[in-house]
Amino acid sequence: MSRPVRLVSVVRRRGVDVEYATEVFSQKAAHRGIDPSCFAERYRARLIQYRERWDKELEIHIPGAVPHFDEVERQVNRHLRRVNLL
């Protein structure tokens, strides 16, 4: 099984500042009338859906190399906590 790509690593290689992206996200959410402080709650609710569809939907795009959901979830959560979204 291949090692999952860390989203933050990709973002940083592309020259995107994660803290800046977080601020842009907060502004965009507020503009759409969404309270950015509700992100954690909405994210956790979506994780259930993502977990259920993970292998089936990703297998189409990356046959035989779908990373384990739990590992990807841990990494994403770590980065979201780092920028105070969780």
% residues pLDDT > 70 (the chain): 81
> For residue 52, what are the domain limits?
7-82
Task: Give the predicted TM-score (pTM) of the model.
Answer: 0.67
Structural domain contains residue 41: yes
* Domain tally, the chain: 1
Question: Shortest CA distance to 56 belongs to which of 47, 45, 69, 44?
Answer: 69
pLDDT reading at 45 higher than 80: yes
CA distances from 58 to 30, 53, 64, 75 (A): 31, 8, 10, 18
Structural domain contains residue 27: yes
Structural domain contains residue 1: no
- The confidence band for 13, taking pLDDT boundaries of 50, 70 and 90, is low
Structural domain contains residue 2: no
- The confidence band for 49, taking pLDDT boundaries of 50, 70 and 90, is very high
pLDDT of residue 4: 46
